[in-house]
């Protein structure tokens, strides 16, 4: 899911009960999201936007994909994401 902020994340956690979350945003939002995830005992990783601010930001998609495949066996990673294996 792509959500606009922490209040929405809380509703999503209660509804879907995820085991893990990758948060993408400004440094402050990522920090707060990781702390909130800890309160719900959810594993969280964060990727800070490559541009700062809350409007017209851009994500480092390479880093998002690298984060998404951390800890996954190489044979289970889709071929289009294999280029992100380090």
Q: Is 25 exposed, middle or buried (0-12, 13-18, 19+ CB in 10 A)?
A: buried
What does the pLDDT look like over 7-33, one tens digit per residue? 788 888 899 999 999 999 888 888 988
Sign of CA dihedral 60, 76, 2, 17: negative
pLDDT in tens, 31-52: 988 999 999 999 999 999 988 7
The pLDDT of residue 17 is 93
Q: How confident is the model at residue 86 (pLDDT cuts 50, 70, 90)?
A: low
Q: Which domain holds residue 58?
A: 6-84
Residue 10 has φ and ψ, to the nearest 5°, of: -60, -40
Question: Is residue 1 in some structural domain?
Answer: no
Give the separation between CA 10 and CA 6, rounded to whole angstroms: 6
Residue 60 placed within a domain: yes
Does residue 58 form part of some domain?
A: yes
How many structural domains is the chain composed of?
A: 1
């Amino acid at each position: 899911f792509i959500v606009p902020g922490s209040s929405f994340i809380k509703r999503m956690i209660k509804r879907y009960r995820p085991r893990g979350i990758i948060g993408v945003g400004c440094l402050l939002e990522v920090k707060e999201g990781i702390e909130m995830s800890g309160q719900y005992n959810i594993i969280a990783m964060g990727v800070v936007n490559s541009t700062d601010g809350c409007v017209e930001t851009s994500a480092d998609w390479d880093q998002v994909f690298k984060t998404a495949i951390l800890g996954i066996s190489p044979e289970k990673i889709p071929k289009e994401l294999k280029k992100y294996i380090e």
